[in-house]
């Protein structure tokens, strides 16, 4: 209840942001900082939770230590970001990283720094950088990747994963190990 009151109290400031960027915002910390920044940053918040349901039925849940919103550039800059994507069929994908940039117009996300992607079946991908392209429903990187599960260990450089049909391509330098069960 206290969280909703805080959000409503900042309603006038957040109304424009809600219309363009957020469907729902919950500020987790009761003493959260929310203030207008100079020049490029229109809004900054700490302990942020962002949820969005797209027209395709895909649901996004983003949690971050902080976010800076730049309305002029249609960008939200996140620190210590966790993105949970729930597909229409119930499959869940989770991406985490040190930094994230969301283009609020295209809904594309770039995540950098100790990036981990976990699929609905437990496959784990590690890399330095991932890019999600909303129009294509595709995750990609040109960086080295390591993909692991209980049966395999795959290394390579560059990767494309299409979420809709679950097709994965490692682009070069592929080294794979399979473990007997």
Domain coordinates of the chain in residue numbers? 2-178
3-state secondary structure of 125: strand
CB 97 within 8 A of CB 112: yes
DSSP state letter for 42: S
CATH number of 2-178: 2.60.450.10
The 10s digit of each residue's pLDDT in 92-126 is: 989 999 999 999 899 899 999 999 999 888 899 99
| Below-50 pLDDT ranges, the chain | 1-38
pLDDT at residue 181, rounded to an integer: 64
End-to-end CA distance of the chain: 50
């Amino acid at each position: 209840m206290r969280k909703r009151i805080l959000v409503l109290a900042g309603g006038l400031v957040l109304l424009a942001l809600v219309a363009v960027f957020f469907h729902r915002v919950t500020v987790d910390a009761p003493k959260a900082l929310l203030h207008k920044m100079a020049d490029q940053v229109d809004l900054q918040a700490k302990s942020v939770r962002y949820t969005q349901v797209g027209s395709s039925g895909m649901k996004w849940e983003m949690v971050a230590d902080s976010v800076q919103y730049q309305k002029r550039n249609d960008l939200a800059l996140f620190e210590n970001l966790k993105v949970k994507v729930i597909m229409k069929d119930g499959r869940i994908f989770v991406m985490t990283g040190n930094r994230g940039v969301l283009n609020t117009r295209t809904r594309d996300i770039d995540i950098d720094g100790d990036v981990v992607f976990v699929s609905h079946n437990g496959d784990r991908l590690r890399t330095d950088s991932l890019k999600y392209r909303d129009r294509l429903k595709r995750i990609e990187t040109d960086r080295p990747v390591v993909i692991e599960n209980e049966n395999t260990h795959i290394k390579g450089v560059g990767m494309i994963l299409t979420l809709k049909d679950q097709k994965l391509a490692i682009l070069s330098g592929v080294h794979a190990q399979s473990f007997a069960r």
